[in-house]
């Protein structure tokens, strides 16, 4: 596994996103064998960074991750678990309780990385970070981060955090570059804040883009693997593709072994 050492906390270049683990909106316990099999295959393949949120299947995603870690007898210290507080829980007391609930569902004593899932304009960031800073002090959380923050919000978060922000989690792939255009990615790279690319493979254009298909054919890999290779070749960028298929999980990890030429990287940079 390759790690990104751009920030103060080295993280795997590829982690596992779990936005639909356990169900789309409400828990779907009828598919428990499938959910558990997906998590166990990821652990077997060597995934160590798992990204979840209290919003995912109303916390059931966290519960499945916790059960899988226990069943696999994984060494907790070798895993890195990221979860997120939803925007309705960003007041001080709500945040402390949300964290306690996530800890219980995950079956762990601490969360490695705790994120604000998205900003809530009705709750001051000062209050939210009062809670986040307290969670770090109480050793319930090791590191802090944010998600879906624009440049102004990110700068304010840096000011309010008592410890360095580890990441800003944003949508990013060859066809989704809003946060490149608005300066967030460049700022994060300057400040040694990791960019965690979510939805790194979400675009209908992956199946229709001829240039991407040509590069994939040359390397005898999938277009999705080329997209992940392009992302993870960038300093300060990690990705959390979601897959419950062991074959695709392995392909996502194997994308780290693809060496794109400078010409290929530049061609992908030109995608619109």
pLDDT bin (cut points 50, 70, 90) of residue 123 is very high
Which pLDDT value is given to residue 6? 82
Average pLDDT, whole number, for the chain? Answer: 96
Which pLDDT value is given to residue 207? 87
Q: Which CATH number, 1.10.3720.10, 3.10.20.440, 3.20.20.100, 3.40.50.970, labels domain 9-202+237-243?
A: 3.20.20.100
Compute the average pLDDT of residues 93-102: 98
The yes-or-no verdict on residue 83 having pLDDT over 80 is yes
The yes-or-no verdict on residue 267 having pLDDT over 80 is yes
Compute the average pLDDT of residues 82-105: 98
The yes-or-no verdict on residue 272 having pLDDT over 80 is no
Report how far residue 166's alpha carbon sits from residue 59's, in angstroms, rounded to the nearest whole number: 23
The yes-or-no verdict on residue 5 having pLDDT over 90 is no
pLDDT tens for each residue of 254-263: 999 999 999 9
Residues forming beta bridges with residue 194, ordered by sequence position = 167
Which pLDDT value is given to residue 46? 97
Burial of 45 (0-12, 13-18, 19+ CB in 10 A): middle
Question: What's the half-sphere exposure (Cβ side, CA atoms, 13 Å) at 155?
Answer: 7
The yes-or-no verdict on residue 52 having pLDDT over 80 is yes
The yes-or-no verdict on residue 266 having pLDDT over 80 is yes
Which pLDDT value is given to residue 1? 82
Question: By percentage, how much of the chain surpasses pLDDT 90?
Answer: 94
CA 136 to each of CA 93, 111, 149, 161, 184: distance values in angstroms, whole numbers, following the listed order: 15, 10, 21, 10, 25
Residues with a known catalytic role: 56
Which pLDDT value is given to residue 8? 83
pLDDT tens for each residue of 132-182: 999 999 999 999 999 999 999 999 999 999 999 999 999 999 999 999 999
pLDDT tens for each residue of 176-228: 999 999 999 999 999 999 999 999 999 989 889 999 999 999 999 999 999 99
Every domain of the chain and the residues it spans: 9-202+237-243
pTM score, whole prediction: 0.96
Which pLDDT value is given to residue 245? 97
Q: How many C-beta atoms surround the C-beta of residue 266 within 10 A?
A: 10
Closest CA to 16 of 108, 103, 81, 109: 81
Which pLDDT value is given to residue 141? 98
Which pLDDT value is given to residue 117? 98
């Amino acid at each position: 596994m390759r790690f990104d050492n751009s920030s103060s906390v080295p993280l795997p270049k590829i982690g596992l996103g779990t936005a639909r683990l356990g169900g789309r909106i409400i828990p779907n316990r009828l598919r428990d064998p499938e959910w558990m099999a997906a998590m166990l295959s990821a652990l077997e393949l060597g995934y160590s960074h798992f990204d979840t949120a209290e919003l995912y299947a109303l916390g059931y995603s966290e519960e499945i991750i916790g059960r899988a870690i226990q069943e696999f007898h994984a060494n907790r210290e070798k895993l890195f678990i990221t979860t997120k507080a939803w925007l309705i829980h960003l007041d001080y007391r709500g945040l402390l309780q949300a964290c306690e609930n996530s800890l219980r569902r995950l079956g762990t004593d601490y969360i490695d990385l705790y994120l604000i899932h998205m900003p809530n304009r009705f709750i001051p960031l000062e209050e939210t970070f009062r809670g986040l800073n307290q969670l770090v002090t109480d050793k319930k959380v090791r590191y802090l981060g944010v998600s879906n923050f624009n440049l102004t919000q990110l700068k304010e978060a840096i000011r309010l955090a008592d410890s360095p922000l580890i990441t800003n989690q944003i949508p990013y792939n060859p066809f989704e570059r809003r946060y490149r255009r608005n300066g967030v990615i460049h700022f994060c790279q300057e400040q040694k804040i990791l960019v965690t690319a979510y939805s790194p493979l979400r675009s209908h254009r992956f199946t229709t883009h001829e240039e991407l298909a040509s590069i994939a054919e040359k390397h005898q890999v999938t277009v999705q693997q080329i997209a992940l290779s392009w992302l993870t070749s960038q300093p300060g960028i990690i990705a959390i593709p979601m897959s419950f298929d062991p074959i695709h999980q392995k392909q996502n990890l194997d994308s780290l072994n693809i060496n794109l030429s400078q010409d290929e990287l530049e061609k992908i940079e030109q995608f619109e």
